[in-house]
Amino acid sequence: MSQRQNDQTIADVGEFALIDLVREQLGTSDYVLVGPGDDAAHIATADGTYVTATDILVEGRHFRRDWSTAADIGRKAVAANLSDINAMGGVATALLVAFAAPGDTPVSWVTDLVGGMVEECAKVGARIVGGDMSAADQVVISITALGDAERPVTRSGAQVGDQVAFAGTLGLASAGYGALSRGFRSPKAAVDEHRAPHPPYAAGPAAATGGATAMIDISDGLLADLGHVARASKVAIDVDPAAFEILDAVQTVAGALGGVDPLRFVLAGGDDYALAATFPADATLPDGWTRVGVVRSGAGVTVGGAPWEGGVGHKHWT
């Protein structure tokens, strides 16, 4: 490690530079078909393959117990992981759950949390098959999901001329966070989506079958996550701002927050766990997918042909 790296903190370098530094140390093997850098890894086994992903939720960072019920938090924790498998064109089958919490946490809160997890798992037919528990100063939930993907779709396959599309809902969860942050408990559609999202679980496999060339789930914001696709595929992506329907609840929150541009929630908000994908220019989009842009030569993501000045999404350690 250089002296400069030794002097830097993880807040100095940021999440993605830190990931790059870690990846340099990991190596690979014949069993690793797709390694770090996508929504999920693709691993070979003696009798087949599987895809696997992990996510961590930290109290105060990803959820607040005064905003969400235990069941909501359980659903959200599971949804974040099922969404990663979905983004590879797969379906999750099993989850491992690691849970840490203060000793004064009510047992009923934990059982409600698990109830929410089981409810979300049932949407794709997955089961919780094991895990671990520990004491901690705050609630921490870490989940590893495993699943099957007949044709895993990575972030690196977008081609110049491809159409860009999304499936699911954009803007509701971040609008809900904005409302809750100001002490509001409405509009209900936005607040509820922040508490427990509704990923489009059927859309990932449908996109893989429909010829998607690249895909990612939208957890940090559409522009930020499309930026990962552009970087991995070595292309540029332009998004058409007129292609999006802005939901009434998003417009209501934008107005209540002092005239914020509602498009900011759609383009730069996260936590909806929608999907974004690229498809060949002549492909018919699967049901539930909406065209919102095009892949071009170059680098980066633009909106209507110009840089977006309204923020690009969530960043850790900022």
Contact at 8 Å (CB) between 311 and 268? yes
Q: Does 272 belong to an annotated binding site? A: no
Find tokens 């001329």 and name the residue. Answer: 161
Contact at 8 Å (CB) between 64 and 191? no
Q: Does 54 belong to an annotated binding site? A: yes
Q: Does 314 belong to an annotated binding site? A: no
Q: Which of 221, 82, 223, 81 is nearest to 164 (CA)?
A: 223
Strand partners, 237: 295, 301
Give the integer Cα–Cα distance in Å for 36 and 306.
Answer: 31
Spatial strand order of the sheet with 91-101 comes to 32-34, 41-45, 48-58, 140-148, 91-101, 127-135
Q: Does 112 belong to an annotated binding site? A: no
Q: Does 131 belong to an annotated binding site? A: yes
Q: Does 49 belong to an annotated binding site? A: no
Distance, first Cα to last Cα, the chain: 24
Q: Does 248 belong to an annotated binding site? A: no
Q: Does 221 belong to an annotated binding site? A: no
Q: Does 66 belong to an annotated binding site? A: no
Give the integer Cα–Cα distance in Å for 291 and 282.
Answer: 12
Q: Does 156 belong to an annotated binding site? A: no
Q: Does 271 belong to an annotated binding site? A: yes
Q: Does 269 belong to an annotated binding site? A: no
Collapsed DSSP state (helix, strand, coil) of residue 125? coil
| Known binding-site residue numbers for substrate | 62, 271
| Known binding-site residue numbers for Mg(2+) | 39, 54-55, 84, 132, 217, 220
| Known binding-site residue numbers for ATP | 131-132, 155, 219
| Known binding-site residue numbers | 39, 54-55, 62, 84, 131-132, 155, 217, 219-220, 271
